[in-house]
Amino acid sequence: MFTFIIRRLIQTIPVLIGVTILTFSLMHLIPGDPAQIMAGESASTAQIEQMRERLGLNEPIPVQYAKYVSGAVQGDLGNSIRSGRPVAQEISGRFWVTVELAIYSTILSVFIGLIAGVISATKHYTFTDVAIMIVALFGLSMPNFWLGLMLIQWFAIGFDIGPINTGWFAASGWGSWQQIVLPVITLGTAGAAIIARMTRSSMLEVIGQDYIRTARAKGVKEQVVIYRHALKNAMIPVVTVVGLQFGSLLGGAVLTEMVFAVNGMGRLIIDAIRARDFPIVQGTVLVFSLIFVAVNLLVDIAYRFLNKRIDLN
């Protein structure tokens, strides 16, 4: 196990290098001059050049990249062009908000997705199965921003239904449960739909195996057959999907945070792109990449606990 973890950590090095190169290149291809933005529209050419020199933007791009990588290896992600504060401080103030949003959304996705998938598989080709899959398809097809706006209209602004008003939750912010519910539902809906479809498919494959028929023939209770034997062996592809979903939730958090005015890393990166704040964008993407790599490593380790026959070494 230890050898496997070390080998996987070493394999992440070229991935992270590729991420930094791609992000660094794309940010310099975006139209707009950060020095011009910082100096102001009325600044003279000399003032813009001074600002460019102060920010280090007058150096060749390979030199800028080399300095960035050298600092990142030492934990220094540079300073924000807009605020002048260290990028690590800017990110740390938003990091846990986005991680909490992704974790809560993942929990919701797994909870709903597993239940729906198991029910759909055990009642396959019935009305219940068809209904669950139609709802899952609908959940998978809805864009995050549209669902978020609809939830705000229905459950934050609310409707008056007789003496009852449905405005039960907050439309923006993060902290209280009224502020958390709608963003989590918005972000977790698509993941729940994907997990439900994958669980159903995997369960149907496992239920058809000989050892399941043998367990039923021996008189084992159906609940034990489904949840102890079938579900456990059907979880490996589901765990893979959950790991990939967590990474996509981090990306989807960008739109969700903008819709609900949540001060997380998604909103930070959008504001940084608008201001051409290269260090913030590069640092945020690097942190996202590290989280995604860590989650995939945990998923691979989880395989071993779900199936002892899998050799990670």
Q: What is the 3-state secondary structure of 151-180?
A: HHHHHHHCCEECCEECCCCCCCCCCCHHHH
pTM, two decimals, is: 0.79
Per this entry, what is the length of the chain?
313
Collapse the DSSP code of 293 into the 3-class scheme (helix H, G, I; strand E, B; otherwise coil) and give the result.
Answer: helix
Q: What pLDDT score was predicted for residue 164?
A: 67
Q: Which of 251, 266, 281 is the last residue of a domain?
A: 266
77-111 CB burial, b ≥16 within 10 A, e <16: bbbbbbeeebbbebbeebbebbbbbbebbbebbbe
Do 65 and 201 lie in a common domain?
no
Is residue 55, in this structure, part of any structural domain at all?
Answer: yes
Q: What pLDDT score was predicted for residue 245?
A: 78
The parent domain of residue 108 ranges over 91-266
Do 141 and 243 lie in a common domain?
yes
Do 64 and 123 lie in a common domain?
no
Looking at the structure of the chain, the number of domains it has is: 2
Do 126 and 227 lie in a common domain?
yes
Cβ(184)–Cβ(99) under 8 Å? no
Is residue 210, in this structure, part of any structural domain at all?
Answer: yes
Q: What pLDDT score was predicted for residue 184?
A: 92
Is residue 297, in this structure, part of any structural domain at all?
Answer: no
Look up residue 79 and give its DSSP letter.
Answer: B
H-helix segments, 30-60: 34-39, 45-55
Do 66 and 95 lie in a common domain?
no
Mean pLDDT by 10 residues, the chain (313 residues): 73 80 75 68 75 75 81 80 81 85 90 90 88 88 86 81 73 84 90 89 84 81 79 80 77 82 85 80 83 78 64 57
Is residue 10, in this structure, part of any structural domain at all?
Answer: no
Task: Compute the 3-state secondary structure of the chain and give helix, strand, coil in percent, each to the nearest 5.
Answer: 75, 0, 20
Q: What pLDDT score was predicted for residue 32?
A: 66
Collapse the DSSP code of 86 into the 3-class scheme (helix H, G, I; strand E, B; otherwise coil) and give the result.
Answer: strand
Smallest CA-to-CA distance from 152 within 173, 176, 175 is with 173
Is residue 286, in this structure, part of any structural domain at all?
Answer: no
